Structure 1
Amino acid sequence: MTVPKGKKIYFSSDNHLGAPTQKESLPREKKFVAWLDEVKHDAAAIFLLGDLFDFWFEYKKVVPKGFTRTLGKLAEISDAGIPIYYFVGNHDLWMNGYFEEELNIPVFHKPREFFFNQTSFFIGHGDGLGPGDKGYKRMKKVFTNSFSKWIFRWLHPDLGVRLAQYMSVKNKLISGDDDAKFLGEDNEWLVQYCKRKLEENHRDYFVFGHRHLPLEIDLETNSKYINLGDWIRYYTYGVFDGEKMELKEY
């Protein structure tokens, strides 16, 4: 992808809209929509790196209620011809065609490599990558299992969505407990994952979400790991101007 002069590529992650309640997340949603409205004027593309919603499950004929402002703004931007790319996170694993069909937004379930003006990017949400976190990796296999999804789909949406939202908000990070702390490079699983990927091929930037911490870490010469932070505490996002990538706060 070529980034024309004066255009930029934007990256955002971890809004968790709907947490802890729709009412309480509404100011955050309005702030995010205002950001989308600003960046659309010079965006060559927008990358959303997962957990836009605190819970999302697509039944055959039903999607979760709410988020009208966000979905409407994404539709507006997509209809204007600005590409938007979505990477599912651990809270919205169960996307199955709605974004593609209704919003013309491609959805990716695994990290992908992109090139912007010959600069290489490795992009994903970041959950379940690298060493450790074995409990979550086992749970993810259950969540993504076709039989598990089939069973959940048989729950009435009023029950299934309420149950999933309750379990999601139990997560300490989303409920407001401050336990998202930088663990040091040796203990950050995504840092270790990026270093292992560099043994295969060089990438200029590794861009992830999931950790809810705005981070910029040099991995080796001309390679950097960037975590986008979140739209709960930090309101941070990434921007690539065709030459360099940096984190900003809205």
Structure 2
Amino acid sequence: MKKIYFASDQHFGVPTPELSLPREKKFVAWLDEVKEDAEAIFLLGDLFDFWFEYKTVVPKGFVRILGKLAEIRDSGIPIFFFVGNHDLWMNDYFETELNIPVYHDNKEFAFNGKTFLIGHGDGKGPGDKGYKRMKKVFTNPFSKWFFRWLHPDVGVRLAQYLSVKNKLISGDDDVKFLGEENEWLVLYAKRKLETKHYNYFIFGHRHLPMIIPVGKDSEYVNLGDWIGYFTYGVFDGEKFELQKFEK
């Protein structure tokens, strides 16, 4: 079979659009490379550091990314997008403009006899209660309705500021390995295995590339990020690996 690719946490737009541009070009180069043998491509959230869809407007910029995704999808390669905590206000723009389905929670997939549970990973597992409460506020329909009434020049600037400055809102943990017993997504995966077996739990959010066994023939995978690591996952039909894009 062809390969299935996974990437997460690009956070395009920070710290500034100008400084983000080289990373965007590098990600487009990666998309150009993997499209040659991709069975499917999974993007696991925080593609943008901020995203909000007004009824007739989306944030400006990111044309290289959006154009490349449109090109790949039009060629017939499936692309799946899972919202992260920085782009959780994504609605139907990707679906209507790019024909890319958007998921707001984990979803199960099966490839070549292997089972996958895939998602961004924010708010899962024990702990992180402050962010979980904040996420409920942000995803409340009234909150989205209220924010939509802010002029985009005000709303986008405010959201970008809070995204960087307020760690409770962003949900970003310190980017260091906490040990298996303290990694919430590891604990989440082990708890899920009590009721159903998965070969792979694929998540982003932690910004740390890692593969950790969590049970018999079962692994937790974090994809890392495209800020400092430039790592991605690839499943060739038999095994899953993390690789680094060097170009």
TM-score class, shorter-chain normalisation, is: over 0.9
Q: In the alignment, which residue of structure 2 is the partner of 1:164?
A: 159
Distance 1:17 1:108 in 2: 20
Q: In the alignment, which residue of structure 2 is the partner of 1:234?
A: 229
User: Could you tell me which of 16, 21, 25 is aligned with 1:30?
Assistant: 25
Q: In the alignment, which residue of structure 2 is the partner of 1:129?
A: 124
Query: Is it true that 1:138 corresponds to 2:111 in the alignment?
Result: no
Q: In the alignment, which residue of structure 2 is the partner of 1:60?
A: 55
Distance 1:160 1:178 in 2: 25
Over 3 Å counting, the alpha-carbon distance change for 1:85 and 1:178 in structure 2 is: closer
Q: In the alignment, which residue of structure 2 is the partner of 1:243?
A: 238
Superposition pairs for residues 170-189 of structure 1, below 5 Å?
Answer: 170=165, 179-189=174-184
Residue by residue, what CA displacement relative to the aligned partner does 1:218-249 show, whole Å, maximum 9, x if unpaired? 11120000000000000000000011101000
TM-score (norm 1): 0.95
- Percent identical across equivalent pairs? 76
Distance 2:60 2:123 in 1: 28
Residue by residue, what CA displacement relative to the aligned partner does 1:85-111 show, whole Å, maximum 9, x if unpaired? 000000000111100000000000000
Query: Is it true that 1:72 corresponds to 2:63 in the alignment?
Result: no
Distance 2:159 2:173 in 1: 22
- The answer to whether the Cα contact below 8 Å between 2:40 and 2:77 also exists between their aligned partners in 1 is yes
Distance 1:154 1:243 in 2: 50
Counting matched residue pairs gives 241
Distance 1:240 1:209 in 2: 16
TM-score (norm 2): 0.96
Over 3 Å counting, the alpha-carbon distance change for 1:154 and 1:178 in structure 2 is: closer
Distance 2:174 2:126 in 1: 20
Which 4+ residue blocks in structure 1 deviate beyond 4 angstroms?
none
Residue by residue, what CA displacement relative to the aligned partner does 1:25-70 show, whole Å, maximum 9, x if unpaired? 1000000000000000000000000000000000000000000000
Query: Is it true that 1:14 corresponds to 2:9 in the alignment?
Result: yes
Instruction: Please report how far the alpha carbon of residue 171 of structure 1 lies from its aligned counterpart in structure 2 after TM superposition.
Output: 5.1
Instruction: Please report how far the alpha carbon of residue 123 of structure 1 lies from its aligned counterpart in structure 2 after TM superposition.
Output: 0.2
Write the letter of the residue equivalent to 1:18. G
Distance 1:245 1:42 in 2: 15
Write the letter of the residue equivalent to 2:123. G
Instruction: Please report how far the alpha carbon of residue 179 of structure 1 lies from its aligned counterpart in structure 2 after TM superposition.
Output: 3.4
Q: In the alignment, which residue of structure 1 is the partner of 2:205?
A: 210
- The answer to whether the Cα contact below 8 Å between 2:173 and 2:206 also exists between their aligned partners in 1 is no
Residue by residue, what CA displacement relative to the aligned partner does 1:149-207 show, whole Å, maximum 9, x if unpaired? 000000000110011011112257xxxx9930000011000000000000011100000
User: Could you tell me which of 103, 106, 111 is aligned with 1:111?
Assistant: 106
Q: In the alignment, which residue of structure 1 is the partner of 2:86?
A: 91
Structure 1 segments unaligned to the other structure (5+ residues): none
Superposition pairs for residues 43-58 of structure 1, below 5 Å?
Answer: 43-58=38-53
- Give the SS at the match of 1:216: strand
For the aligned residues, what is the CA RMSD? 1.2
